[in-house]
Amino acid sequence: MIHIRINDQELKVPEGITVVEAAHEAGVKIPTLCHLDLHDIKMVNQTASCRVCMVELVDASGNRNRLVPACVTKAHEGMAVRTDTIRAITARRMAVELLLSNHPNECFTCPKNLECELQSLAEELNVREIRWEGERMDYPKDLSSDAIVKDSNKCIYCRRCETMCNEVQTCGILSGIGRGFEAFVGPAFNIPMVESSCTYCGQCVQVCPTAALTEAYHVDKVWEAINDPDKHVIVQTAPAIRVALGELFGMEPGTIVTGKMVTALKRMGFDAVFDTDFGADLTIMEEASELIYRIQNNKTLPILTSCCPAWVKFIEHQFPELLEVPSTCKSPHIMFGTIAKTYYAEKNGIDPDNIVVVSIMPCIAKKAEAKRPELTKDEHNNVDIVVTTRELGAMIKEAGIEFVNLPESEYDRPLGETTGASVIFGTTGGVIEAAVRTAYEWMTGEELKNVEFEQLRGMDGFKKATVRVGDKDLRIGIASGLGNARELLEEIREGKDKYDAIEIMACPGGCIAGGGQPYHHGNYEIVKKRQEAIYQEDRNKKLRKSHENPEILKLYKEYLGEPFGEVAHRLLHTHFEE
Distance of CA 517 to the CA centre of its chain: 6
Residue from the set 54, 358, 363, 568 that interacts with ligand HC0 by CB under 6 A: 363
Q: Return residues touching ligand SF4 (CB under 6 A).
A: 148, 164-165, 169, 171, 173-174, 198-204
Which of the choices ligand SF4, ligand HC0, none does residue 363 contact, using the CB cut-off of 5 to 8 A by kind?
ligand HC0
Residue from the set 49, 276, 389, 484 that interacts with ligand HC0 by CB under 6 A: 276
Which of the choices ligand HC0, ligand SF4, none does residue 125 contact, using the CB cut-off of 5 to 8 A by kind?
none
The span from the CA of 80 to the CA of 3, in Å, is 9
Q: Are 277 and 329 in contact (CB under 8 A)?
A: no
* Distance in Å, CB of 332 to ligand HC0, minimum: 3
307 binds ligand HC0 (CB under 6 A): yes
Contact residues for 128 (Cβ-Cβ < 8 A; gap 6+): none
Q: What is the DSSP string of 348-417?
A: HT--GGGEEEEEEES-SHHHHHTT-HHHHSSTTSS--EEEEHHHHHHHHHHTT--GGGPPP-PPPSSTT-
Residue from the set 81, 185, 238, 383 that interacts with ligand HC0 by CB under 6 A: 238
Catalytic residue set = 287, 290, 307, 327, 366, 369, 374, 511
511 binds ligand HC0 (CB under 6 A): yes
Residue from the set 291, 395, 431, 451 that interacts with ligand HC0 by CB under 6 A: 431
254 binds ligand HC0 (CB under 6 A): no
Give the number of other CB atoms < 10 A from CB of residue 364.
35
* Distance in Å, CB of 72 to ligand SF4, minimum: 23
Which of the choices ligand HC0, ligand SF4, none does residue 202 contact, using the CB cut-off of 5 to 8 A by kind?
ligand SF4
Q: Are 463 and 429 in contact (CB under 8 A)?
A: yes
The span from the CA of 529 to the CA of 307, in Å, is 23
Contact residues for 22 (Cβ-Cβ < 8 A; gap 6+): 4, 6, 11, 13, 75, 81
* Distance in Å, CB of 295 to ligand SF4, minimum: 33
Residue from the set 362, 414, 416, 461 that interacts with ligand HC0 by CB under 6 A: 362
Residue (158 or 257) nearer to ligand SF4, CB: 158
* Distance in Å, CB of 291 to ligand HC0, minimum: 15
Q: What is the pairing mode between strands 272-275 and 385-388?
A: unpaired
The span from the CA of 155 to the CA of 283, in Å, is 40
* Distance in Å, CB of 149 to ligand SF4, minimum: 11
The span from the CA of 67 to the CA of 242, in Å, is 46
User: Which segment (21-29, 82-90, 218-226, 232-240) binds ligand HC0 by CB under 6 A?
Assistant: 232-240
Which of the choices ligand HC0, ligand SF4, none does residue 31 contact, using the CB cut-off of 5 to 8 A by kind?
none
Q: Are 485 and 314 in contact (CB under 8 A)?
A: yes
Residue (137 or 173) nearer to ligand SF4, CB: 173
For 301, half-sphere exposure in the C-beta direction (CA atoms, 13 angstrom radius) is 19
